Amino acid sequence: SHCGVHINAGPEIGVASTKAYTSQYIALVMIAIQLSEDRTSMTERRNEIIDGLHALPGHIKEVLAIDQDLQRLARDVLHKEKSLLIMGRGFQNATCLEGALKIKEVSYMHSEGILAGELKHGPLALVDENMPVILIMTRDSLYPK
């Protein structure tokens, strides 16, 4: 290739390539911001996204602060399960698919990432009151649904 984007994520320590995924996602967001730079109608949204990127390390620290709670949930609830669904809408579909892949890689548990809007078209047959489901919800245009 004549061109590339160095994501500067550093070496992966674990099996699941989480740093690379996160860094690649952010790199693509930054490329999208650059591509929209000549559109004045996008200036406000671009600034919101840039502010969000600046706030991201703080949000990651908040998630890491509840690490013990997440471990307890995995140990006490999820480890007994055979399957897990991760659902989201819109742009979060990629995160759902990647999250399901990470769970498979690390825990060897069956996991699927699905679009919440497509639940009625097949995956609903998998869901009952015992099926654990993780929802990826962001406050975007699809949030009210």
46-91 per-position pLDDT tens digit: 899 999 999 999 999 999 999 999 999 999 989 889 999 999 988 8
Most distant pair of Cα atoms in the chain: their distance: 52
Q: Which domains does the chain have, with CATH numbers?
A: 1-65 (no CATH), 69-145 (3.40.50.10490)
DSSP 63-94: HHHTHHHHHHHHHHTGGG-SEEEEEE-GGGHH
Lowest-confidence region among 16-20, 75-79, 108-112, 118-122: 118-122
| Cα–Cα distance, 18 to 98 (Å, whole number) | 9
User: Whole-prediction pTM value?
Assistant: 0.78
